[in-house]
A = this chain, B = another copy of it.
């Protein structure tokens, strides 16, 4: 007989009864609040078409989710066997039941991981699966999910509503014409799905696809992006368009967060070299550093919140990148300095209360050393939630323990799910709300704060801060 999935109502909380009781009381106040999702990677296409289908259970839950397939890959299972499409169109497993079986056979790998926790919630609460996935019941569970996905209530819009999503931000390239967003708005459906302006593809000249992205931007603009000046103009235009389509924020990545200004002539010289394929690493670093300054300037002008996520060495594994492309679980973090790197930007714009600069990190050493002190001083700086590998129970605990004493709660920005796995959204918010309740309850039970404060803080962390920081009001 199969083991049941257990999802105790008081799960994850620390176990001392006095604290857990308060945690539950706080959690229950926000457990059913709408979800504010200001940063994520869900495909807007799924909401543009009211009849959009998620495909098979493997299509929905496994093949696109690098959190899952990287773990299987780390144990020597080829991505081809998991159906991950090759960029060269080479053969990969097409039998989704075989893929699902392979996943079930290795489900034990997720013991104690956030993916394991999200999946338990998702399988049981979203799909109604009662039994813990294992080798023996794999096909039965597959049948069950497949049957669910055929029902109207498993269309994306229905799930969006069932999940009580108040707003969902997607992430979109500068050149993106936002067709799906347009379709959503024109469809009369009331779900709020907004784009986020992410221009990395055109401002990070060392990206393997930079020229392609610049050409795409030219096509969208209707003229070639042949100079730095034209790039700036295009970016300003696209930001205005994104804003008109509901965007409230931009998003930026770079391996290191260096900032600093170039003259327009210097910037153009680098841009021209990049067009010729002759820019070097130093050029790329200087250009990104300069464009971050420009992005802050534009944010002050147009009011879009600026998000910055540095510190990931993208596509560390060349073999995997060459064969399968971007976002295949082989982006590996590096140590990052914010204090010196951001000084030029913060000295120019950090005192300006019109700017909201939300910083994220993969280098947790910067929480207490740099990020909390920066957020606890500069009016423009706020801190995003624990990101990516750190968006886990322990990661959230470390963030709260290391950030809050110095930055205070009110220089943080609540939770975002940052996910492309749409059905995992409720599980992720639920985990975060439990982490908030647990953290606050510990402060109460130790006499650091009283319940009056606690009752405000839980609403701030679980709902209000994200809404306010991202200007969704």
Contact = CB atoms under 8 A, between A and B. Distances in A.
A102 to B, nearest CB: 15
Given A14-B446, A353-B76, A368-B389, A404 B113 contact: yes
Contact of A108 (B16, B71, B381, B410): B410
Nearest to A391: B405
Contacts of A218: none
Contacts of A7: 447
Interface stretch (A90-98, A266-274, A338-346): A338-346
Contact of A117 (B70, B329, B448): B448
B73 A317 contact: no
A340 B351 contact: no
14 contacts: A3-B450, A74-B379, A76-B379, A110-B408, A111-B449, A112-B457, A113-B405, A113-B408, A132-B450, A132-B452, A316-B377, A334-B369, A335-B337, A395-B405
A56 interface: no
Interface of A: 3, 6-8, 10-16, 18-19, 70-71, 73-76, 108-114, 116-117, 132, 313, 316-320, 329-335, 337, 339-340, 343, 346-347, 350-351, 353, 362-365, 368-370, 372-379, 381, 389-390, 392-395, 398, 401-402, 404-411, 443, 445-450, 452-453, 456-457
Contacts of A320: 351
Given A334-B339, A368-B395, A13 B446 contact: yes
Nearest to A353: B76
Given A339-B334, A389-B368, A448-B393, A405 B18 contact: no
Contact of A405 (B112, B351, B445): B112
Contact of A392 (B339, B375, B405): B405
Given A112-B405, A446-B12, A446-B14, A333 B395 contact: no
